[in-house]
Amino acid sequence: MKIAIAQNNYHVGNIEANTNKINEQIIKAKAQKADMIIFSELAICGYPPLDLLEQKSFIEKSQKAINNILMHVEDIVVIVGAPSINDDPQGKKLYNSAYVLEHGQIKKIVHKTLLPTYDIFDEYRYFEPNEVPEVVEINGHTIAITICEDLWDEQPVDQPFAQSRLYKKAPMKKLAGNSPDLVVNIAASPFSYNQEQKRKGILKRNAHDYQIPLIYVNQVGANTDIIFDGASKVLNTNGEIIKQLKRFEEDFDIVTLEKIEKQGANIQNPSETRIQQIHNAVVLGIRDYFKKSGFEKALLGLSGGIDSAVVAALACEALGSKNVHGLLMPSEFSSDHSVSDAETLALNLGMPHHTLAIKEIYNIVNSTLSPAFPNNNFDVTEENIQARIRGLLLMAYSNKHGNMLLNTSNKSEAAVGYSTLYGDTNGGLSPIGDVYKSDVYAIARYINRDETVIPAGSIEKPPSAELRPDQQDSDSLPDYDILDRMLFEFIERKQSVDDLIGMGFNKQDVLKVTHLVNINEYKRYQFPPILRVSSKAFGMGRRYPIVAKY
């Protein structure tokens, strides 16, 4: 049996475009004499659809899309993900399902059993879990169809104090009792820089332990803040990956079921470093955010610092240099080399830019406020005024020309609140808001791997907001190599204050940093969407109360 794997980039809610893409792939598969074609989880509506699932018309359009696809299902079997309706008066009204289409009809609808409700996932909010996993007979072969999380039954509870498994059920154990010839797993598995290794382990374990070949079909592309890296796979019964589709790109391939067992692991996919993965993911995230939201041009402030330089380079790669505009907005505290570094960066990238000095506006604002500030001592107020003036100018340019403003804050700054509300928190998208400062430097060096794009001055100079004389980030924070390791343990690994101190971090630094993280949740609530590249990004995947005492 010849099986086509369709790794597509879907757009949440754009059911017509998704359906057209699916139909095109079916036609392509039939032209290559494929017997079956497999699409990813919720391919019809895109993943994650969130509360769109609560709209009656949304579900009706999804159902009509299935009928549309059925018109193309001649001489080929189609497995495609979509929501389906639960006719039982009890329970949630929808299932997360895999439709098996054959001879112009719905042959079977297989429902997802394990519904993730952690981190960015909230599937039990919408879907009823399947209770009876079943196999499907296709072209004389017994196929076990699973949906993403259904293979992750051995996943541990995501808490540092727990030693138990997250799920009580193991769908594959029941399915394996039917002696299937193949396991199909349709997925919408989001990217994080450590997710691919976890995935490989899960897929290899299932193929090897149950001694069944496995085809895993993942989607690719980005929907808002969530990025999907594709990397669909075919595994033999030894748990060896014998074929892998591209990462961060759409792809299409055909495998023959009878040959899977005869083929050993011979894939030659070059390994990617963690920094390469983050770089590629952010570029894809920017490109899709703009394309799917209808924007073509970006805007950002160029300070001469490392963060704005990296965001500018990533945006130029994603959108093309002519579509990325920079504003240089020096103040009286900006160093000469910061201005020259920003100008050199813009020239190296070939991006248009303007210089708009803010000193005069700053003086006017201070003069206007002087009756209300009788002492007029320089403090954080005057620092934030500068950031907000820059935010004002950037948003004015955005309004006038229609460029979407990119936020340039990194994860380290967002964590400890080193950003000014209505100033440098402005933006329609935060490309590096889930990238620690240490990794921003590493990405800069990766961008410069073949030629100097980001000036050496931007990489080598001590980090500074340049909002007062001789200001440096290290005046009030530990060095970033220490800070970022501490933040990683506290945020990603959920370690306590006592745990951090026990790891050897300075007690006063720990108390200060964890306090800053906890009290600045209100700022992060007002951030633009942050592209997720880690296992615990700020945003939907990390939900903490603003008003809390802990």
Residue numbers in the known binding site are 118, 189, 301-308, 384, 408, 413, 523
DSSP E strand boundaries for 23-116:
36-38, 77-85, 94-102, 105-111
Q: What CA–CA distance (Å, rounded) separates 282 from 316?
A: 12
263: how many CB neighbours lie within 10 A of its CB? 16
Angle at 150 between CA 160 and CA 190, to 5 degrees: 65
Residue of 85, 40, 48, 44 whose CA lies nearest to 67: 44
105-110 — which CB contacts under 8 Å span 24+ positions? 105/70, 105/73, 106/66, 106/70, 107/77, 107/136, 107/138, 108/134, 108/136, 109/84, 110/134, 110/136, 110/145, 110/147
Q: How many CB atoms lie within 10 A of CB 190?
A: 25
Give the helix/strand (H/E) hosting 327: strand 324-328
Catalytic residues: 41, 112, 148
Give the separation between CA 476 and CA 427, rounded to whole angstroms.
26
Report the alpha-carbon distance of residue 484 to residue 267 in Å, rounded. Answer: 36
If residue 329 lies in a helix (H) or strand (E), which one and from where to where?
none
309/388 Cα distance (integer angstroms):
20
Q: Which two tokens stand for residue 303?
A: 């300070």
**Distance between CA 393 and CA 372 in Å, rounded?**
24
Query: By the 8 A CB rule, do 500 and 510 touch?
Result: yes
- What are the binding residues for ATP? 301-308, 408
CB under 8 Å to 420, separation ≥6 — which residues? Answer: 383, 384, 387, 388, 391
304 and 278 in contact (C-beta within 8 Å)?
no
Half-sphere CA count of 57, side-chain side, radius 13 A: 2
Residues in the chain: 550
Question: What is the C-alpha to C-alpha distance for residues 387 and 421, in angstroms, rounded to an integer?
Answer: 9
Q: Which residue has the tokens 């040959």?
A: 259
Give which of 407, 413, 457, 472 is closest to 438, Cα–Cα: 413
What does the alpha-carbon distance between residue 301 and residue 304 come to, in Å, rounded to a whole number?
Answer: 9
**To which H or E segment does residue 171 belong?**
helix 171-176
Three-state secondary structure call for residue 350: coil
